[in-house]
């Protein structure tokens, strides 16, 4: 294949670093730039190892990353920056790239209509990287009745409900299946991350929220699927390794990545469980707000503050859904543009901080 240039936004994170590893196998994909937040020493090591010409920090703002995209105009841009900041970066990538590899859920959660409008206007491909959305993307066809996203259930999935109030960051960060950053690992335990994915699926596949089903799948082998009107169900199975959907997004519509060990089906048993509302109340908020961009933004922004407070042991695990519920309920209106979304984002973060200050809790 002809050489394709790649810029990775969030290069030192889990997704970004795995994407760089994938390029070792896909020789025609050339990483020409990446951004990082604050881990300068790791960024320097990675720049040298992969021969990346342009590396910038976003610690003091997004300007350098935006300028890098404008300068390099890569064939592909991987969006792997967590949080609301992924939105303006995605919009810029849609202006200058031919393909967006979207790993940041928040861009579509907060500004899905802006992203899709820009992608359409600029005739850009947008390929999902999340393992669940990649799975649906690979088997999606006409006459869809509903889709399935699977979830691990997070580190506390087998805890007694009465014990959840005692969960510490150490408990929550021990994920049973995936190796991820701290924020997304906490979001996995609350299943807020899966709530984001429900909304992301609504945007990616133009579905109603009630057409997006989620089941807990402990085995980590089935990542997603599609239920068709004729009774057919297509499920995608693969090892729980993010390099697989990353490589597919880079090489689509072809499959050119060689995975080290083929998946064996011998002695494989698959189980699926309902997502319990009383165990994962924060997850179900997503269905209630799926058609309101203001509340969706508040959901994301309040979660950023609540997770940070939990990791700092300023609130308890069960306080996270309380913060999200309060902030979302108080958020009204519909944003018209990016400026409106930024205002809602900042206001929601402030309100979440105020709610946290009012919460009473016992120290760990």
Q: Are residues 87 and 171 in the same domain?
A: no
Q: Are residues 79 and 178 in the same domain?
A: no
Determine, yes or no, domain membership for 228.
no
Tokens 């922004």 locate to 301
The answer to whether 12 touches 36, Cβ cutoff 8 Å, is yes
Determine, yes or no, domain membership for 159.
yes
Q: What is the pLDDT of residue 136?
A: 98
Q: Name the β-bridge partners of 273.
A: 216
Q: Name the β-bridge partners of 271.
A: none
Q: Are residues 162 and 115 in the same domain?
A: no
Q: What is the pLDDT of residue 123?
A: 98
Q: Are residues 210 and 310 in the same domain?
A: yes
At residue 95, what are phi and psi to the nearest 5 degrees? -80, -30
Q: Are residues 79 and 198 in the same domain?
A: no
Q: What is the pLDDT of residue 363?
A: 47
Count of C-beta atoms within a 10 Å radius of residue 27 = 10
Q: What is the pLDDT of residue 312?
A: 95
Q: Name the β-bridge partners of 237.
A: 222
Backbone region of residue 164 per phi and psi (left: phi > 0; alpha: psi in -120 to 50; beta: other values): alpha
Determine, yes or no, domain membership for 136.
no
Determine, yes or no, domain membership for 134.
no
What the block records as the tokens of 257 is 């990545």
Distance, in Å, from the CA atom of 110 to the CA atom of 283, rounded to the nearest integer, reads 16
317, burial (CB in 10 Å: exposed 0-12, middle 13-18, buried 19+): buried
Handedness of CA 125, 130, 133, 137 (dihedral sign): positive
Q: Which of 136, 185, 129 shows the shortest CA–CA distance to 156?
A: 185
Q: Are residues 289 and 246 in the same domain?
A: no
Q: Which of 159, 168, 263 shows the shortest CA–CA distance to 219?
A: 263
What b/e string do you get for 121-145 counting C-beta neighbours within 10 Å, with b at 16 or more? eeebebbbbbbbbbbbbbbbeeebe
**Where in the chain does DSSP place strands (E)?**
4-9, 29-36, 54-57, 76-79, 99-102, 125-128, 144-151, 212-216, 222-228, 233-237
Q: What is the pLDDT of residue 260?
A: 85
Residue 258 has, within 13 A of its CA and on its CB side, a CA count of: 5
Q: Are residues 344 and 201 in the same domain?
A: yes
Determine, yes or no, domain membership for 97.
yes
Q: Are residues 314 and 207 in the same domain?
A: yes
Count of C-beta atoms within a 10 Å radius of residue 153 = 23
Q: What is the pLDDT of residue 229?
A: 95
Domain residues for 354? Answer: 141-218+275-358
Are β-strands 29-36 and 222-228 bridged in parallel, bridged antiparallel, or unpaired? unpaired
Determine, yes or no, domain membership for 364.
no
- For the chain, 364 residues long, give each residue's pLDDT as a single digit of tens: 799 999 999 999 999 999 999 999 999 999 999 999 999 999 999 999 999 999 999 999 999 999 999 999 999 999 999 999 999 999 999 999 999 999 999 999 999 999 999 999 999 999 999 999 999 999 999 899 999 999 999 999 999 999 999 999 999 998 777 667 889 899 999 999 999 999 999 999 999 999 999 999 998 999 999 999 999 999 999 999 999 999 999 999 999 999 888 888 888 889 999 999 999 999 999 999 999 999 999 999 999 999 999 999 999 999 999 999 999 999 999 999 999 999 999 999 999 999 999 885 544 4
Q: Are residues 94 and 202 in the same domain?
A: no
Count of C-beta atoms within a 10 Å radius of residue 162 = 7
Residue 183 is part of a domain; what is its CATH number?
1.10.1740.10
The answer to whether 28 touches 2, Cβ cutoff 8 Å, is yes
The stretches of 150-292 forming alpha helices (DSSP H) are: 169-172, 182-190, 192-205, 243-251, 281-289
Q: Are residues 149 and 22 in the same domain?
A: no
Beta-carbon contacts of 345 under 8 Å, excluding residues fewer than 6 positions away, are 84, 110, 297, 300, 301
Determine, yes or no, domain membership for 53.
yes
The stretches of 26-62 forming alpha helices (DSSP H) are: 40-50
Distance, in Å, from the CA atom of 226 to the CA atom of 121, rounded to the nearest integer, reads 28
Residue 30 is part of a domain; what is its CATH number?
3.40.50.720
Distance, in Å, from the CA atom of 276 to the CA atom of 41, rounded to the nearest integer, reads 42
Distance, in Å, from the CA atom of 50 to the CA atom of 224, rounded to the nearest integer, reads 32
Q: Are residues 91 and 168 in the same domain?
A: no
Count: domains in the chain: 2
Determine, yes or no, domain membership for 24.
yes
Q: Are residues 294 and 152 in the same domain?
A: yes
Q: Measure the N-to-C terminal CA separation of the chain; round to a whole number of Å.
A: 55
């Amino acid at each position: 294949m002809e050489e394709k240039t790649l810029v990775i936004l969030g290069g030192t994170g889990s997704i970004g670093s795995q994407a760089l590893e994938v390029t070792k196998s896909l020789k025609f994909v050339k990483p020409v730039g990446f951004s990082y937040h604050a881990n300068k020493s790791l960024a320097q090591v990675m720049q040298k190892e992969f021969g990346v010409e342009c590396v910038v920090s976003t610690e003091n703002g997004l300007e350098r990353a935006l300028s890098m995209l404008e300068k390099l105009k890569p064939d592909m841009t991987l969006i792997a920056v967590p949080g609301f900041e992924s939105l303006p970066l995605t919009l810029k990538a849609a202006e200058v790239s031919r393909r967006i590899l979207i790993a940041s859920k928040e861009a579509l959660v907060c500004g899905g209509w802006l992203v899709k409008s820009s992608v359409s206007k600029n005739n850009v491909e947008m390929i999902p990287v999340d393992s669940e959305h990649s799975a649906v993307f690979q088997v999606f066809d006409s006459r869809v009745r509903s889709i399935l996203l699977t979830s691990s259930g997070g580190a506390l999935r087998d805890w007694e409900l009465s014990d959840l109030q005692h969960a510490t960051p150490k408990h929550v960060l021990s994920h049973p299946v995936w190796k991820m950053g701290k924020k997304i690992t906490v979001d996995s335990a609350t299943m807020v991350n899966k709530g984001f994915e429900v909304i992301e699926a609504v945007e990616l596949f133009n579905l109603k929220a009630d057409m997006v089903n989620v089941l807990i799948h402990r085995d980590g082998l089935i990542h997603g699927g599609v239920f068709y009107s004729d009774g057919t169900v297509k499920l995608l199975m693969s090892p729980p390794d993010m390099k697989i959907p990353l490589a597919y997004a880079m090489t689509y519509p072809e499959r050119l990545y060689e995975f080290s060990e083929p998946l064996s089906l011998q002695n494989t048993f698959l189980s699926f469980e309902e997502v319990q509302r009383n165990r994962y109340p924060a997850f179900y908020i997503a269905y209630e707000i799926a058609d309101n961009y203001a509340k969706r933004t508040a959901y994301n922004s309040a979660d950023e503050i609540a997770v940070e407070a939990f990791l700092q042991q300023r609130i308890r695990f069960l306080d996270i859904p309380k913060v999200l519920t309060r902030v979302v309920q108080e958020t009204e209106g519909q944003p018209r543009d990016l400026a409106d979304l930024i205002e809602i984002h900042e206001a929601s973060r402030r309100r979440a901080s105020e709610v946290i200050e009012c919460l009473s809790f016992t120290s760990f």
